[in-house]
Structure 1
């Protein structure tokens, strides 16, 4: 149904709409009904790919702690952050 690379591109593009310092989960980057239509295995893969993107690229997003349900939380960096 969904191509993972398209979903990853959408998620990365959506981070541009976040405010500096804003904390979010990958699922927050999609409308609720869109996220719910993505199969669980694809959501897991999308989470892994998004985390890899954050670590590999010079992204304005950084990974922070995980939630109690083991979901990775992210924060959009401010312009003064490294």
Structure 2
């Protein structure tokens, strides 16, 4: 999959998150799927996902980052 396909997949999976749930982009993928994505594409995917939720009207907001610098998100009403 290219990065745009990964972004589409992440957006679809994010719709399944329940309200008030906190998650990372990597949580939207099965462990082995995430590990198979090259690191540079994972970084790009994180940036694209953040840009998407900031630009579109979604019920997902970015919150603090983890100690390793990964962006956390929360689904709101």
Scaled to the shorter chain, the TM-score interval is over 0.9
Q: CA RMSD in A?
A: 0.5
Q: Give unpaired runs (5+ residues) of structure 2.
A: none
Q: Can you list the C-alpha shifts for 1:25-48, whole angstroms capped at 9, x where unaligned? A: 000000000000000000000000
Larger-Rg structure: 1
Cα distance in 2, alignment partners of residues 77 and 12 from structure 1:
15
Moved over 3 A (4+): none
**Structure 1 position 43 matched with structure 2 position 18:** no
Q: Give unpaired runs (5+ residues) of structure 1.
A: none
Count of aligned positions: 77
**For residue 33 of structure 2, what is the aligned residue in structure 1?**
34
Q: Can you list the C-alpha shifts for 1:10-64, whole angstroms capped at 9, x where unaligned? A: 0000011111010000000000000000000000000000000010000111000
